[in-house]
Amino acid sequence: MNVLSVASEVYPLIKTGGLADVVGALPAALLPHGVKTRTLVPGYPAVLQKLKKKKKVGSFENLFGNPATVLAAEIDGLDLLVLDLPELYARDGGPYVDATGRDYVDNFRRFAALSLAAAEIAGGDVVSGWKPDIVHAHDWQTALTPVYMHFGPAAATPTVMTIHNIAFQGQFGALVFPELALPAEAFSMQFVEYYGDVGFLKGGLQTADAITTVSPSYAQEILTPEFGMGLEGLLKSRVADLSGIVNGIDADIWDPQTDPHIAQHFSATSLKQRAANRRALEERFGLEKGNGPIFCVVSRLTWQKGMDLVAEIADELVAMGGKLVVLGSGDAALEGALLAAASRHRGHIGMVTGYNEPLSHLMQAGSDAILIPSRFEPCGLTQLYGLRYGCVPVVARTGGLADTIIDANEAGLAAKVATGFQFTPVNADGLRLAIRRVLRAYSEPKVWSKIQTQGMKSDVSWATSAERYVSLYSGLLGKG
Which residues are annotated as part of the binding site?
Answer: 15
Whole-number Å distance between alpha carbons of 98 and 168? 18
Q: DSSP label at 301?
A: B
| AA letter at 74 | E
Q: Are strands 55-63 and 36-42 parallel, antiparallel or unpaired?
A: unpaired
Q: Which residues contact 473 (CB under 8 A, 6 or more apart)?
A: 1, 3, 35, 133, 134, 158, 160
Whole-number Å distance between alpha carbons of 226 and 34? 39
Whole-number Å distance between alpha carbons of 377 and 386? 16
Inter-residue contact 401 to 377 (CB < 8 Å): yes
Inter-residue contact 242 to 182 (CB < 8 Å): no
Whole-number Å distance between alpha carbons of 316 and 295? 13
Binding site for ADP-alpha-D-glucose, by residue number, is 15
- Residue 474's DSSP bridge partners are none
Does residue 12 have a cis bond before it (omega within 30 degrees)?
A: yes
Q: Which residues contact 354 (CB under 8 A, 6 or more apart)?
A: 327, 328, 329
Q: Which residues contact 464 (CB under 8 A, 6 or more apart)?
A: 248
Half-sphere exposure at residue 211, Cβ-oriented, CA atoms within 13 angstroms? 29
Q: DSSP label at 98?
A: -
Nearest alpha-carbon partner for 82 in 97, 67, 69: 69
Nearest alpha-carbon partner for 304 in 257, 234, 374, 249: 374
Whole-number Å distance between alpha carbons of 346 and 340? 10
Radius of gyration of the chain (CA): 23
Q: DSSP label at 95?
A: S
